[in-house]
Amino acid sequence: MNMIFLGAPGAGKGTQAEVVCKELNIPAISTGNMLREAVKNGTPAGLAAKECMDRGDLVPDDVVIGILKDRIAQDDAKNGFILDGFPRTVSQAEALDKMGVQIDKVVEINVPDEKITARMSGRRVCEGCGNSYHIEYKPTKVEGVCDACGAKVVQRIDDKPETVKARLATYHEKTAPLKDYYAAKGKLVTVEGQEEIAETSKLTLAAIKG
Ligand code: ADP
Ligand code: ZN
């Protein structure tokens, strides 16, 4: 099964993608994580991406599409995958169609903007492996230390309140139109994000099986 997880920054689409990919034993492919990795490694894609990311803008389509194409061609993606944070523009969605990638379902995790801004300040990410956490909703076992790899857990540069505002605006302008794009193809299911991560997961799994 090939799926797309859609949602505003901080709506929890990445967290839910992780839950579902464990359940279905398919990889979750996060373009945000891949781009952060590219920035860290100073690759050409990373250099092209960094400024856009720090401002809360989208990275140019050709950069992201290139990264994504290579990733879904890998062996572990043969039996299905979850795209977390891709596509983010209608032209990225059209690029997927052109690549001949069949999408079975698009899951939108819906959280109102007011709740998003409140949540974002608690988000943390591991500097080592990219795992994400939240000081309130998904804390690490030891404060500031990644459960998975033991590296330091920090706030993302783009999780600052000003940048979050810019990212939300970008989401509404460029990414939200994808809801109509996929609804018109009969692929869209919407899950209302709950206060508790586990509650949202129940709804998400039900939406995927339904
Ligand atoms: P979030 O969902 O919390 O906004 P991500 O980790 O998915 O964060 O993405 C972080 C940043 O990486 C985005 O703000 C954007 O700059 C860039 N990015 C990620 N995926 C894409 C994409 N598909 N197209 C363009 N830019 C992207
Ligand atoms: Zn880690």
> What is the Å distance from ligand 2's center to 125 Cα?
8
Residue 123 annotated among the catalytic residues of the structure: yes
Spacing, Cα 6 to ligand 1 middle (Å): 11
Tell the residue nearest (CA) to atom 7 of ligand 1.
32
Residue 165 near residue 81, CB atoms below 8 Å? no
3-state DSSP of 53-109: HHHCCCCCHHHHHHHHHHHHCCHHHCCCEEEECCCCCHHHHHHHHHCCCCCCEEEEE
Dump pLDDT digits (tens) for 124-166: 999 999 999 999 999 999 999 999 999 999 999 889 888 999 9
pLDDT per residue as tens digits for the range 22-72? 999 999 999 999 999 999 999 999 998 999 999 999 999 999 999 999 999
**Pocket perturbation via mutation, ligand 1, pick of 13, 37, 59, 134 by most ligand atoms within 8 A of CB:** 59
Q: What angle do CA 117, 199, 166 make, to 5 degrees?
A: 20
pLDDT at 143: 96
Reply yes or no on whether 13 is catalytic. Answer: yes
What pLDDT is recorded for position 112? Answer: 93
The domains found in the chain, sorted by start residue, are 2-26+79-209 (3.40.50.300)
Is the separation of the CB atoms in 43 and 37 below 8 Å? no
Ligand 1 cavity residues, CB under 6 Å:
9-10, 31-32, 35, 52-53, 56-59, 64, 85-86, 88, 92, 158, 167
CA of 142 relative to ligand 2 center, distance in Å: 12
Query: What is the pLDDT at residue 121?
Result: 87
In degrees to the nearest 10, what's the CA dihedral of 34, 38, 41, 42?
-170
Residue whose tokens read 């032209």: 91
Q: Quick one: which ligand is closest to 132's CA?
A: 2
Q: How much is the pTM?
A: 0.91
Position with higher pLDDT, 92 vs 195? 92
Give the other-Cβ count within 10 Å of 162's Cβ: 10
